[in-house]
Structure formats: C-alpha cells, structure tokens
Amino acid sequence: MLIEELAEVIKDHADRNVPLRIEGGNSKAFYGRDISHLDVVSIQGLNQVISYEPSELVIRVQAGCSLVDVNRILAEKKQMLAFEPPDFGSSTIGGAIASGIAGSRRPFVGAGRDFLLGLDLIDGRGDVFTFGGQVMKNVAGYDVSRLMAGAMGCLGVITEVSLKVLPRPESESSVMRACEKADLLREMNKLSVMPEVTGLAWWQGQLYVRFSGSDSTVKIRVLEFAGMSAPTNFWHDLDTMALFTDTKRLWKVSTQSMDAISGFDKASLIDWGGAQRWVADVDELKVDPPAYRTLVKTDHNEASRFAPLSSPVAALHQNLKVTFDPKKILNPNKMYEGL
C-alpha cells in the first residue's frame, strides 16, 4: 500500500470515528494492551531502503523494512544500529522506533530516540508530515521526531525513518563468572565505568559482561575479568525475552543502577548494569519512585500494563493525543485508557 493510500484509509476511519490498529511485523503484539479486535492498517508494504550513506553514518528506510534486512545491509559495511533493537521475529524498524524497545547495549550507547534524525508521519487526520532531517544538529523548538519514539503508534503512523548508525567494534567478546546477588551492584558499578563494556547483566548467579573495542584492548579486559566464555546467543535471548519462554507474567523495572530496593530482591534477571530488573511470575509488583515498572508479558488483558501517570504528565499525554489524533482512532488504549 502506498503512503497516499494509507493516508486515505486513516482519513476515512477518522471521518467515521472508527479506530485502527497499526501493524508492521506484529511481533510486539504482547507489548501494551490487546487491540487485535480493531481494523488494521499495515505498513508492511513500505519496505524500501530510501538511501544509505555509509561514509555519513546515515540510513533512511521505510518503516516496514525488517530489522533482519536493515542489519544485513549495515553489516555489509561493518556498521550497526547501536541501540540494538531486539528482533522478536518479523520485527520492523518502524516497530522498533514506535515501541521504544532497545537492547542491552542501550545504557552504554543510547536509546533509539538518540539515533533518530527524522521521520515521516501520517497523523490521525490522514495528513502527512516530515519532521527532522538526515544530519545531527541543534533543533530550534521541539524535536517532534523523538516524541514518536516509544509513542506506540498512538500519535501517528511512522512511514519513514532516518537513523544515525555506528561502526561495528573491531572486536567483541562476552564472558561470565559467578557472582552473589549481595555483591552484584558493587561489581556492576565498577565494570560499568569501563569504556569497553557494552553489556552488563546478571542471570542465574552469573555476571555477564560484553567487552567491545580494539582486539588488543578486548583481550586485556577478558583476561582481567577472569571468567569463562558466555553463550553466543545470551544477549539475543535476553533482549527478546527468550530466557523467559516458560514464564506467564513478566515485569520490567527501570530504576537507578545502584538502587538496591526497587524489584531487586525479586528480580531473576538484572540488566543495564543494574538499572533494569526483570521480575517473573509476580501477580502484582509495586515499586517506589524513581523506579518505573512495565508488565511486558501476561496471559490476561489487564487494563494497565504501564506505571500510572501523575496528573500533570497524564494531561500532557492527553494534549499530545488530541493534537496529533483528535478523533483518537490510532491504537486507542494501547498504552493507557483514553489515549
């Protein structure tokens, strides 16, 4: 389907006040509330690479491009999406940006929004907009492109994105060693300041570290760590939640890396150098500020998957929704009731 056709579909649904579900590869249907009963507008047909300038470290692709294809194209030039968006199977670049989900490399290099240079968007009226560009520069006014990162499609349909990419490290090695939970945050704090660390997690009594950089430096860090080689698929299985295949309910808690309270005792997996905790098979999880909890896996359609918003923040969300989608037809209630 062409962009003009997508815009007409959205305009027609807005005129009739009929809500729509935005779908790419549909690999993240688990994230947020179930809205599978709604009419679908698919971006899978928008799967072209618009431009790629390896020397400029910039790629522009249509939102329906699969992560597999984008990663393959970048790998041919020894480059990568540094925020490491996980591929849950048929995942698209548009879905990676809209969901805001990044991999274990995020705390060390940045989130998807940090690499988002610009995007094209169809709003809830069926109007087409272009925000941002293809270079990193100071922005006068609000950076609308980054506003769409993590908006879950509630503000518009992303059709194209421009992203900054980075060179792949010359060498990369993942190692692990036993670590008691009581010593974990202290150990993670020491390791996280090393510039070569690009992955730092704890799982089943083992501390996992990924070192990236020059071949000689990585070899030195591996020897200093004095551990054993980690499974080659560990980071992929962590980021895609494959480690929790048999888990019915899974909470993700984001907090400060040295916070020894929020979800720490119950966490079966700790990632992002201590700043992200995964708590499995707990019916209800309450955490204190500044922690933020998200129910990322469940066998029920709970009304709320995300932490409650304060009144001022909820009002801001409502104002944004009305501005971009006045009829509230795009992915309604996907994140919060009424949005």
Residue tagged 């933020």 (tokens): 292
Cα gap 64→48, rounded to integer Å = 8
The whole-number pLDDT of residue 249 equals 93
The whole-number pLDDT of residue 304 equals 79
**Tens of pLDDT along the chain (339 residues)?**
689 999 999 999 999 999 999 999 999 999 999 999 999 999 999 999 999 999 999 999 999 999 999 999 999 999 999 999 999 999 999 999 999 999 999 999 999 999 999 999 999 999 999 998 765 554 555 688 999 999 999 999 999 999 999 999 999 999 999 999 999 999 999 999 999 999 999 999 999 999 999 999 999 999 999 999 999 999 999 999 999 999 999 999 999 999 999 999 999 999 999 999 999 998 888 888 778 999 999 877 776 799 889 999 999 999 999 999 999 999 999 999 989
Q: What angle do CA 131, 135, 141 make, to 5 degrees?
A: 45
3-class DSSP state for residue 228?
A: strand
- Give the amino acid at 203: W
Task: State pLDDT tens for residues 312-335.
Answer: 999 999 999 999 999 999 999 999
Cα gap 34→319, rounded to integer Å = 24
| Residue 165 to residues 36, 109, 189, 315, Cα–Cα distance (Å) | 33, 11, 28, 35
The whole-number pLDDT of residue 258 equals 95
b/e per residue, 289-311, with b = 16+ CB within 10 A? eebebbbbbbeeeeeebbbeeee
Q: What is the pTM of this model?
A: 0.93
The whole-number pLDDT of residue 31 equals 93
- The alpha-helical segments, DSSP class H, found in the chain are 3-15, 67-76, 93-99, 106-109, 144-147, 181-192, 215-225, 234-239, 311-324
Task: Domains for the chain: give ranges and CATH numbers.
Answer: 3-167+314-324 (3.30.465.10), 171-247+249-297 (no CATH)
Tokens of 273: 């150098």
- Give the amino acid at 306: F
> Distance of alpha carbon 22 from its chain centroid, rounded?
17
Which of 292, 255, 261, 259 shows the shortest CA–CA distance to 276? 255
- The alpha-helical segments, DSSP class H, found in 214-305 are 215-225, 234-239
Task: State pLDDT tens for residues 266-275.
Answer: 999 999 999 9
The whole-number pLDDT of residue 66 equals 97
Residue tagged 């992955």 (tokens): 199
Pairing relationship of beta strands 39-42 and 20-23 according to DSSP bridges: parallel
